[in-house]
Amino acid sequence: MSLETPRPISHNPIKRLGGEALHQRRIGSFPPGPVSYSASRTMAMVRDPLSVLLPAYRKYGPVFTIRVLNIRHVFMIGPQANHFLLVSDADRFRWRDGSMSDLIPLLGDGMLTIDGPYHRRARQIMLPMFHRDRVSATVETMVEETLGALATLEIGQEFDLERWTRDLALRIAMRALFGFDPDQTKREVDIGREFERALHFYSVDYLVQVGRGPGTPFGRMLAARKRIDRVLYAEIARRRSQASGGDDVLSLLMEARDEQDGTPLSDREIRDQVMTLLFAGHDTTTSTISFLFTQLARHPHELARLQDEQDRLFGGSQPTPSQLATADLALLDQAIDETLRMYPAAWIGPRRCVDGFDMAGVHVPTGAPVSYSSWASHMLPDVFPEPEAFVPDRFSPQNKAKIPKGAYVPFGGGSRTCLGMRFGQMEIRVVATLILAQMRLELLPEWKLVVRMTPTLGPRGGLPMVVRERTLPASVRFLGGSA
């Protein structure tokens, strides 16, 4: 492209921490907050950030500073703060200079790690692929893959729903977005397993992430990336050798040209956008499906409402792709919205302030690292009463209209609203509907939910569940085996 490519970012953790500490000494004063050194606070921000963010919000208001290790971070929490950072004053912030740059060693310079004209150009290129009609056209693939995955389950079987969904969502993303054959690709490199190996780096404690070289989590992440890249670059080369392209995202990226000089995207640029979409296209679905069925297993009344809605709409028959693309599954949509309120996949949005400002009587200096947290904002009792309760009716049409602007931001907002939001919502809808139509998922009695913070939220250690029979009309047959 003729646009200047993003500048390189150092991934040496010692250099970055030292550079940030020196940079913050030059900045001067930060907003008030708990800024004394505290090992326990640092550990809490890694394991249970709400236990730090929510008390700080109550004490200091919507803008405050928290010290983690030797670095001060400004947090902006609540509806007004979210709207300021995401929409009205979004130009005051950059993504690449925040901790989103931690994803660059794996994802490269994709949509999550770029800013400015380079980001706008990439978004403009990919936006047509996520038009409503194109997303609807992928529903058949979503249904086919989900039914295939359901056929591997049997009544009475214990399985890890998170892993099952991760494998399924990655297969859907590979087929629906990029035209890959997951089975053929798996014979060469199991991209799903390699992604899992790579993402493991982000789930280990920070002091372990610091290590470099073969055998370290960072080294294993780079090795997994190399194996994935081998498949992606081979597919890009194969597509370039063909006379005509397809209608998937990969073909769209390869056909894209710069408006000014007609320059195509480089192989590296294509690879980085594909990796980013593969990451975002399966991680959000995995997280949301996992937490949704955790809550439904705990709230049988809500589960029964969703099953009644399905029986009413589909008459006890297997829903078709066209039905799933257009059905008014209002109660399911409310349950999904409530799940995303309680457990937004992208729980934090780190930025760098490039233009200082005043808000809520507090000054935030130029150069400060600034983050919003959808997770913390969604758990404010003055915005969402009894925030720890699963209440899908919060998102009924009459109640949803009362939610303040900026209060509910599971997909970000403004020009950085998740590009694949519509695709992700449809995928969650399809997978959840087909699971609900065929079975009831039951939690193990001794299992306790512990939330894991990586780039996205998820249940730590997976989500073991047991397949139970759903009471169905005689016309509906369970697609898996029998106990």
Is 157 part of a structural domain of the chain? yes
pLDDT, position 178:
84
pLDDT, position 96:
84
In which residue are the tokens 């009695």 written? 445
pLDDT tens readout for residues 190-224: 887 888 888 888 877 777 878 888 889 999 999 99
Strand locations in 332-439, DSSP E?
Answer: 349-353, 357-359, 362-364, 369-372
Rounded to 10 degrees, the C-alpha dihedral 282/46/347/36 comes to: -160
- In terms of Cα–Cα distance, which of 430, 409, 474, 419 is closest to 333? 430
- Contact between 39 and 63 (Cβ < 8 Å): no
The helix/strand count (H/E) of the chain reads as 21, 12
Radius of gyration (Cα) for the chain, nearest Å? 23
- Contact between 28 and 365 (Cβ < 8 Å): yes
Q: Which residues of the chain have pLDDT under 50?
A: 1, 473-483
CB burial of 32-50 (b: ≥16 within 10 Å; e: otherwise) equals ebbeeebeebbebbeeebb
Judge residue 414's burial from the number of C-beta atoms within 10 Å of its C-beta, 0-12 exposed, 13-18 middle, 19 or more buried: middle
Strand partners, 459: 451
Q: Which helix (H) or strand (E) holds 451?
A: strand 451-453
Judge residue 261's burial from the number of C-beta atoms within 10 Å of its C-beta, 0-12 exposed, 13-18 middle, 19 or more buried: exposed
- Contact between 192 and 168 (Cβ < 8 Å): no
Domain hosting residue 29, numbered range: 13-468
pLDDT, position 1:
44
pLDDT, position 115:
87
User: Can you tell me the distance from the alpha carbon of 338 to that of 348, in angstroms, rounded to the nearest whole number?
Assistant: 18
- Contact between 95 and 416 (Cβ < 8 Å): yes
In which residue are the tokens 């409310």 written? 334
Residue 128 has a CB neighbour count (10 Å cut-off) of: 10
Q: How far is CA 236 from CA 3, 232, 247, in A?
A: 22, 6, 15
Is 403 part of a structural domain of the chain? yes
Q: Which helix (H) or strand (E) holds 458?
A: strand 457-459
Counting every residue written for the chain, the total comes to 483
pLDDT, position 244:
64
What is residue 80's three-state secondary structure? helix
pLDDT tens readout for residues 61-105: 999 999 988 889 999 999 999 999 999 999 999 988 777 788 899
- Nearest 5°: phi and psi at 349? -125, 90
In which residue are the tokens 């993303």 written? 173
pLDDT, position 98:
74
Strand locations in 89-172, DSSP E?
Answer: 93-94, 158-160
pLDDT tens readout for residues 241-297: 886 667 788 888 888 877 767 778 899 999 999 998 888 777 889 999 999 999 999
Q: What is the CATH number of the domain that holds 336?
A: 1.10.630.10
Total number of domains constituting the chain = 1
User: Can you tell me the distance from the alpha carbon of 290 to that of 165, in angstroms, rounded to the nearest whole number?
Assistant: 8
Is 481 part of a structural domain of the chain? no
Is 478 part of a structural domain of the chain? no
What is residue 457's three-state secondary structure? strand
- Nearest 5°: phi and psi at 376? -65, -40
Is 483 part of a structural domain of the chain? no
Strand partners, 441: 467
Pairing of strands 93-94, 63-68: unpaired
Is 5 part of a structural domain of the chain? no
